[in-house]
Copies of this chain bind each other. A is one copy, B any other.
Amino acid sequence: MPVKINETIIQPHVPKGRQRFDRAAALDRALELFWRKGFTPTTVGELCAVMGINPPSLYGAFGNKAQLFMEAIAQYERVYWDQTWVALEAEPDVRKAFAAFFAEAARILTSPDAPCGCVVVTGAINVPAEDQHIADALRNLREQERDLFLARLQRGVADGQLADEIDTDAIATSLITLLEGMSIEASGGAAGKRLQQVAACAVRLVG
């Protein structure tokens, strides 16, 4: 079979056989389920049901349950949080920036799409030992968020909006810790109003 290698390489995506289901739409449905139920309690059977496919299609398109979960997480960050982080940097006043961030966070965590907290916080708590790498990946994501808090606080100090003496490291850790707690509250069914109360208090940590 003299395949013309160059030509096939030039064309990036040539679907030859039967065309696949709507991968992006299915991922959205998977995210919604993982978000509500967490990684472990969500079964492949349930995923297939909401995605409108059968197990072989899921494994063919996403690898396995864990890889599907990580793709859903990336989708979640992109759709729900990217704008919020951009706004944290865009607002010049550091206190207003954090106030807006936490108010928006309270809104997302009690979103009608899935009013059950942040899947990055709650999605992989209590996973069996063999899935520990998933919990580790989410913890790394949260640590990156903490570093974004820290950078914003340091900029606030550099801008003269915050006192030089404050412990930006401790404050950044406290803010991410409070944000994590807000996910626990939301996952327990806390109302949006209750989280807005917490968001209002959060700014006091900034100093």
Which residues of A does B touch, CB under 8 Å? 37-41, 121-129, 135, 139, 142, 167, 169-171, 173-174, 176-185, 187-189, 194, 197-198, 200-202, 204-205, 207
For the complex, give the distance between the alpha carbons of A178 and B182 in Å: 8
For the complex, give the distance between the alpha carbons of A40 and B127 in Å: 8
Instruction: Please indicate the chain B residues that have their CB under 8 angstroms from the CB of A205 in the complex.
Output: 201, 204-205
Quote the shortest CB–CB distance from A113 to chain B (angstroms): 19
Instruction: Please indicate the chain B residues that have their CB under 8 angstroms from the CB of A167 in the complex.
Output: 197
A40-B126, A125-B122, A125-B125 in contact; A170/B198 too (CB < 8 A)? Answer: yes
Instruction: Please indicate the chain B residues that have their CB under 8 angstroms from the CB of A184 in the complex.
Output: 121, 125, 177, 180-181, 183-184
A188-B139, A197-B167, A197-B170 in contact; A38/B177 too (CB < 8 A)? Answer: no
Q: Which 10 A-B pairs have the closest CB atoms?
A: A181-B181, A38-B126, A177-B181, A170-B197, A180-B181, A174-B201, A125-B125, A180-B184, A139-B188, A41-B128
| Least CB separation from A127: chain B residue | B41
